[in-house]
Amino acid sequence: MQQQPEQKRNEGTATVAAAATVHHDGHGNTKQDADEHDHDHDDHDHDHGGADAGWKSHWPLLSSLAILVLMLVMEYGFHIIPPFPVDLVVYVAAYLLAGYNVLNLAFRKAKRFDFFNEFFLMSVATVGAFAIGSYSEAVAVMVFYSIGEWFQDAAVNKAKKSIKALLDIRPEEVTVIRDGQPLLQHPSSITLNEIIRVKPGEKLALDGLLETATASFNTAALTGESKPDTKMKGDAVFAGMINLEKLVEVKVIALFKDSKLSKILEMVQDATARKSQTQLFISRFAKIYTPIVFALAIAVCLVPYFFTGDYNFQVWFYRALVFLVISCPCALVVSIPLGYFGGIGLASRNGILFKGSNFLDVVSRLNMIVMDKTGTLTKGVFSLQEVVAVDGNEQALIATTASLEANSTHPIARAILAYAGKDFQHATVENLEEIAGHGLKGTIDNKAVLAGNAKLMNKFAVVFPKELTRLSDTIVMVAINGEYAGYLRIADEIKPDAKQAIDALHKLNIRTVMLSGDKQSVVDHVAKELGIDQAFGDLLPEGKLEKLQQLQAPGNHIAFVGDGVNDAPVVALADAGIAMGGLGSDATIETADIVIQNDEPSKIVTAINIGKITRRIVWQNIIIAMVVKVIVLLLGAGGIATLWEAVIADVGVALIAIFNAVRIQQMKV
């Protein structure tokens, strides 16, 4: 169950365009002829055109369809049968118009001794139909097969485009200030520390630090959430954000190729190349299935000779052709990768990046989520939670403490000053002294003021309530003129949706565990408040790794969720590594299999639900395709189904599977 980091990281690097050719694979082609095979597919896709080309490029197929309809109307509607060889010539013309691409690919593959593929299968079946005089059926097989191929190409192209367009929204030009003048430049030409301007309504092209006092941005491209996000001067802003209100200036901190959005796009491109276990199974299945079908078709044609007294070669040859047509596994081969494309696209629209379709399968089977605390379940920012003054005057206690803390850069000091507010006017502090590991000491209005922990109070013999030492949060005690005056409780604030996420995971019968480097009392407090099943504190990075290894018992499918650099090894070791991508470290995001862009714990549940939806639809397609094919195969072998029923069933089940897979992209989770 354990998977080494380097194995997980190197499962695929092809682009979306290259990955999309998988919809024709699965007929026994090996990696050794991959380049030539891909070239074959490129020709096939180009000729069919998919959704990219207009209807003008499909005139051969449309002409063939028109000829077929005309001939059928003449023969069955008006009982006009063209004399031989006129009918043969007309049908051959229609056949070549519709099937040129298929025949060409079958010939090219046959030259490489690759006979077990859908193109060779369709060619053999239709040429055989011509040989026994079933002209209209032969043309119909090729026409409807080609129409089905067009729908397949169109659906796959749509999935590819929706994924690529979803994130490839980087602007083509940016306004940069050089020598005091605004210049329009391509983002790739901008260097570090240059100042760029972003007009209202424009997308930010590069990552940077906000130089303007305040600004409001739409972050939907990165987080999946369209609500405005207010930023202050010095805050980090990222490529893809949309400036909402006024002209702003941004100092560039990352090159165009290194921006967060560029990395996201690369992740999604790589994701479509990583096959799931289901896709790999279908590829292996098709590799074995196709030659077996050829053998069975030959058996259907020849074996009855030994058991039937009135054996008619033409009758049994026709049944074998029906068997070949319906056996084509294209419905499976196209609908399964298309389903996974849809799952990746749906996740991206919800601010979740899967780095491979294989991880959609993994999350659908999870039964345990192991999480870091700081930055994952909590905001990772200290905030003042409670003020208690002995004399009841909390405002005065805040004013005194904030004045003392005003010259400190400690996170606790920043939390106190943030609570006091921007308009706070601090008093003059004299004889300020910072006592390392204890707190601050100074004089305000001729009063000796102490602000710090229990060690500071003990150092100056200040009597304070001993129960304060048992509180789980950080406590800043204040003493004035040697007398205890009250305390301030400071804690890392729990994310608003953390409780909702844990409850939802429990409803899915998923066990929750928290691993943290914070002291055990703090970890226990957060775990109790959120309802987490098990929590471990006081852990160094190697301690987290050891705990995860202990949890990886047989039958446990585990995801680890983290954001810090120290979480990267644990993220790599888990079955599915999930990174909080908004505030998370680059190392963790790079190592993770799944990235949550808006840092919301509830997105963990969304990711799991998307995995379950994708897996459910993929297996629906597999079952529908196999059931229909088995039924028609049996009917064909028994002489009940004709070539007409075979081709309609084949194309029909392929279209049902395609439309079912496309449905994923429109779902809400």
The encoded tokens of residue 427 equal 């008093």
Q: Which residue has the tokens 């995971």?
A: 505
CA distance linking residue 295 with residue 515, whole number of Å: 57
Classify residue 451 as left (phi > 0), alpha (psi -120 to 50) or beta: beta
216 beta partners: 230
**Beta bridge partner(s), residue 210:** 250
Query: What SS3 class is residue 201?
Result: coil
CA-wise closest residue to 187 among 202, 172, 209: 172
Question: 596-606: b or e for each residue (b if 16 or more CB lie within 10 Å)?
Answer: bbbbbbbbbbb
- Residue identified by tokens 């565990």 is 513
Q: Is the CB of residue 351 less than 8 Å from the CB of residue 223?
A: yes
Asked if 195 and 249 touch (Cβ cutoff 8 Å), the reply is yes
Dmax (CA) of the chain: 121
Torsion of CA 87, 91, 93, 95, to 10 degrees: -170
Of the candidates 24, 46, 29, the one whose C-alpha atom is nearest the C-alpha of residue 336 is 24
Determine whether 114 is an active site residue. no
328 vs 294: CA distance, rounded Å: 10
d(Cα 384, Cα 377) in Å, to the nearest integer? 18
| Contact criterion met (CB below 8 Å) for 506 and 531 | yes
531 Cβ partners below 8 Å, 6+ apart? Answer: 499, 502, 503, 506, 512
What single letter denotes the amino acid at residue 17?
A: A
Q: CA-CA distance, 422 to 403, in Å (whole number)? A: 13
Q: Which two tokens stand for residue 310?
A: 């009135």
Task: Please identify which of the residues 372, 518, 563, 599 carries the catalytic annotation.
Answer: 372
Phi-psi region at 375: left, alpha or beta (left = phi > 0; alpha = psi -120 to 50): left
DSSP secondary structure letter of residue 31: G
Alpha helices in 303-410 (DSSP H): 313-327, 330-349, 358-364, 394-405
Instruction: Compute φ and ψ for 515, nearest 5 degrees.
Output: -120, 130
Report the interhelical angle of 118-131 vs 135-167 (nearest 10°): 160
Distance of alpha carbon 644 from alpha carbon 311, whole angstroms = 23
Contact at 8 Å (CB) between 345 and 534? no
Cβ-based burial of 15 (10 A; exposed 0-12, middle 13-18, buried ≥19)? middle
Active site residues: 372
